[in-house]
Structure 1
Amino acid sequence: MANLPEHLKYTAAHAWVLDHADGTVSVGITDHAQETLGDLVFVELPAIGAHVAAEAQIAVVESVKSASDVYAPLSGTVTEINAAVMDNPELVNQDAYAAWLFKLRLDDPAELEQLLSAAAYLNTTT
């Protein structure tokens, strides 16, 4: 896996999390996930203001091969969605770590400690 930023946290379900250190996070899918899916053609994101529990289905990414659910890595409220990704799903294929999907205001920032480091995530994909 060539592209795995060390400063991010990860889930075994192939999501990445960027902690903004203010009780909010950005969430996207990993490079591994986008490679596995292939060329993305559709992204369905949650509504702003939606509340989600950790590990609940929150979004859908669809490629020419298949559709895949995206699961919330943490509990919280959606504060922002990346409309550019909805309009141009291929942005995720171009750079999965720049093309965040949504932002959450966390219910409990301590949940971040349960996420995987880059090295631990790498062990789940091999």
Structure 2
Amino acid sequence: MSQTSRNNDNFFERVYQVTRLVPFGRVTTYGAIARYLGATRSARMVGWALNSSSSQEEWVPAHRVVNRKGLLTGKIHFPGSNTMQQLLKAEGIRVEDNAVVDFDMHFWDPNVELVKESKK
């Protein structure tokens, strides 16, 4: 296995770890996860990681990750065209026109929340 492949695997696993911490009924963004991981310009790579998350033994709630405007840009990677929206709806998050309604209210920022938790 090449060094690049190992680095990607490690990055992907870190993405999965953070995504598993997004609370029920909340959403975060690809960019927020990338910033938390110290890879500010790697939002797209976070998306690639989440596209592969179904292969993980432990469930990764990838449906809770949206783009910076609250759009469900990753929905094409779920089985069925409305799966992501249905999962969010089951958590009490309203989606209209493929966007999270009241996005700011539902937004969970690991850069704030996880830092706050580590100080407790």
| TM-score (ref. length: structure 2) | 0.30
* More strand per residue: 1
Q: Which has the larger radius of gyration?
A: 2
| TM-score (ref. length: structure 1) | 0.29
